[in-house]
Structure 1
Amino acid sequence: MRKFITACSILFLITNCVNNNLGNRFIDSANGEWGLRVFVVGNFSGNLAGEIPVDGEGFGIGCSGSATALANCYCTNVATVFTSSKKKYYAWLSDSSTDAICNVQGLTGKNCEVQNYSNVPLISLTSPTQTVFPVISDNLQELISANFRAPLSTINDPSWTGSNNQGIGQSDNCQNWTSNNVAVNGVYGQPDIQASWSQIANGDCATNRKLICFEGPLN
């Protein structure tokens, strides 16, 4: 059975941190700030299209469509089970038709402007403690502008993105996330390193890496 990272274990414990009066926005227990949740999860080769539907944990059940759509569904299913959020989640993932900066806003296309996150902070669920869940950035625009308050994760978890740090798709994407061939490459990031959170290197598509999941926009 595929094991989740420690951060996801933390995610399991925070259901009570959601305040329904705030529309499922996550409450930072340390300082009262609210925001949209971000977490790192999964363990897949670059063949997301082939592996998510048969995910050993069952979070790919009912998922269909492109590899990016499958990743979005996977993120949503994980969040639905382990938090009280009823919102859709989106993978920070680019393919040949849609950039990550578009996908996490519930949009399709390339090079989208930030329009669906307003001034909503992004909250990390990959803290090493169970009492403090830090604010990553004041909003999505600040994230892609490299204005961090905390890294996305404090754990070494290379994650598939196919994107630069601005969420723009790169040419190496494991053939639109359908290949686990060692001779094919995909861009991955290192969420615990602010300067390289979305793009640190191109790696072979046979290696398992994680996904970065963003809670969907408020509007």
Structure 2
Amino acid sequence: MAQTRAGLSFVVALATALYGATVPAGNSDPAPTRYPIAFTTSVTGTADLSTWSDAGGQTGTAAADAICQARATAAGLANPQNFVAWLSTSTDDAYCRARQATGKKAVCESDPNNPDAGPWQRTDGVLAAGVLDDMVSDHVYVPLIVDEFANDIAGFPAAWIATQPPGVLQGTTCDDWSDAAGGSARLVSVFNTTWTTTGSGDCALERHLICLESGRSAPPPELPPPADKRIAFITSSPGNGELGSWPQVDGGAAGMAAGDSICNTFAQDASLPHAGSYKAWLSDGTTDARDRFVNDGPIHRVDGFRVAYSMADLTKGTIETTIHQSQAGDYLRNRAVWTGTMADGTAADDHCAGWTTTEAQGRRGTSYSTTQNWTQGPISVCASTNGYLYCIADVPVDNFFDDGLETGNF
């Protein structure tokens, strides 16, 4: 998922033109508006945060904030003293900490003396998430996969958070981030478009921190309409693996043809461009998903953020950002998605007998992941009614401004 940084100045100029976003640290060109910064630390440590080299003799969340501020200082970011770690303790919710407050969300969210927070951009200039209330509802645009220096985070990293939606404590906290000897705490994968809990890990493991610049500098930007981009979306409602049984199917279609019909019904109802050209991201026993698309070129979500530059990019094992936005523009929490498709775009063994029955199993993807799990996730019984579909327009697109260098996805 590594991106070329050579085009960063171009990205920043384009991001500024479209969003009024600032330039990353180190770029001398001024921008009209700067959004608060969010990054994942380049350094890692155990859940005893006092042992991190940047902790400055502090413990618990004081150590966490010291680490974030030290990292921001090392990267030359503005206002390093305003950075806090996105994590919760037994007494303080992450939501409150992001608003420069303490205590529980039920109290701090109604206190007018606590400033709002967000929206946030990554250190590479990419708009990352909406304002705090949106962010904790998974209104996240792209994964937080860059560090304080705007470098890609290597591997498949996770960060300590002990936080669940809507920004409140979940589970244990390794004795409020002071003990690595035993127990566990909740983590989040920074390859996901969620900044709240997705798993757990032993307190002795070495993990990252997510750092947010607290405060709010500007209203959320207006994202551009899809225009003539090639759009991908996740359906706003689910169904079982027998796709012909979905109410959105037109004309009695079955199998993958029913999936395409479902996609086009949703696209038409949302007045998306190129309705009628959409195909479901599905494979069956005879056809691979990657071969179902005649046209190639960049694929974007409804909000304009790029998912992949090409079919080869879509099927390389990771994607740029997740397909977790519906045809209507709503950002959905993690959803299971019928795919029958492996990470390389080829057919999986399980595909509900060509999407024609509930008496079998089907491979599904997970909509908040940018790893191979976006399409190659767990297998489920086809009778399950909570499976969604990915839909992608199969139309030629103009590659202007999509030269593969930018990381802004705009």
Distance between the aligned counterparts of 1:113 and 1:151, measured in 2?
A: 25
Count of aligned pairs between the two proteins: 183
Listed as ranges, the matches of 1:36-185 within 5 Å are 36-41=36-41, 42-49=43-50, 51-52=51-52, 55=53, 59-61=54-56, 63-64=57-58, 66-86=59-79, 87-111=81-105, 112-113=108-109, 116-117=115-116, 120-125=118-123, 132-153=124-145, 155=153, 156-181=156-181, 183-185=182-184
Name the TM-score, length of structure 2 as normaliser: 0.40
Q: Which residue of 2 aligns with 1:215?
A: 213
Q: Which residue of 1 aligns with 2:22?
A: 27
Distance between the aligned counterparts of 2:78 and 2:62, measured in 1?
A: 19
Q: What code does the residue aligned with 1:138 have?
A: G
1:82 shift after superposition: 1.4
1:77 shift after superposition: 1.7
Q: Which residue of 1 aligns with 2:196?
A: 198
Greater Rg, structure 1 or structure 2? 2
1:218 shift after superposition: 4.5
**RMSD of the alignment, in Å?**
3.0
Q: Which residue of 2 aligns with 1:20?
A: none
In the alignment, structure 2 segments of 5+ residues that lack a partner are: 13-19, 25-30, 147-152, 218-410
1:138 shift after superposition: 2.7
**Residues 37 and 124, structure 1, Cα contact 8 Å, conserved in 2:** yes
Higher share in strand: 1
Report the identity percentage: 23
1:185 shift after superposition: 0.6
**Residues 26 and 37, structure 1, Cα contact 8 Å, conserved in 2:** no
Aligned with 1:209: secondary structure?
A: coil
In the alignment, structure 1 segments of 5+ residues that lack a partner are: 1-5, 18-24, 126-131
Q: What code does the residue aligned with 1:47 have?
A: D
Change in Cα spacing, 1:78 to 1:214, as seen in structure 2 (3 Å) is same
